[in-house]
Amino acid sequence: MQPTGSVLELCQVVADLGPALDHWTGTIGAGPFFVFDVPVLPGQLYRGNPTQVAMKVAFGFSGGLLIELLQQTNDGPSVFREMLEESGHGYHHVMLRGPYDANFTRLSARGHAVAFSGQMPSGERFCLFDTRSADGAFIELMEISPAMEESMARMHRAHLAWDGVTDPVRGLDRLAEYA
């Protein structure tokens, strides 16, 4: 797992999760991926306006880097639909590992604006800064709870134990196998 101050995650936004999962597991060798539906989360804001975004996501590791594949499943305005409509599927954002407030202050001071924000059901804040003028994508910040850390650790253990072939795509319920 990555130390504080490093990139924790790379996210690719896709129109269809199936082909992306096949590419990342079969061609790249990342995985296994754990897939689940994310309902509309509380307090979502898109460029300062309320929105409702639901999605299907898949998380899997490639070495020590967490890969997120994200497919929006409704029509709510969002940074995900924005990028798909402007440039198609592909690299969307990285998530930084580090203190949320300190990173928020640092990115704001560099002139970047929050494009999307909300809260996880358990209360952790998240946001995506629009940094496309610098690198063509977004930067995500998230308060990472101990429960999230444990889920990521289980995904990483699954990655280390994976034979690269068997069950490349799994439900989130399978994380219990890696406690």
Q: Give the Cα-Cα-Cα angle 166, 17, 33 (nearest 5 degrees).
A: 35
pLDDT in tens, 80-131: 999 999 999 999 999 999 999 999 999 999 999 999 999 988 889 999 999 9
164 contact partners, CB below 8 Å, separation of at least 6: 29, 31
CATH number of 7-164: 3.10.180.10
By percentage, how much of the chain surpasses pLDDT 90?
94
Domain boundaries, the chain: 7-164
CB 30: neighbour CB atoms within 10 A? 24
pTM: predicted TM-score of the whole model, two decimal places: 0.96
Q: What is the per-residue pLDDT for 170?
A: 98
Q: Give the whole-angstrom CA distance, residue 130 versus residue 22.
A: 29
Q: 141 falls in which pLDDT band (50, 70, 90)? A: very high
Q: Which long-range contacts (CB under 8 A, 24 or more apart) does 125-130 make?
A: 125/100, 128/79, 128/93, 130/79
Q: Are 129 and 114 in contact (CB under 8 A)?
A: yes
pLDDT at 1 over 70: no
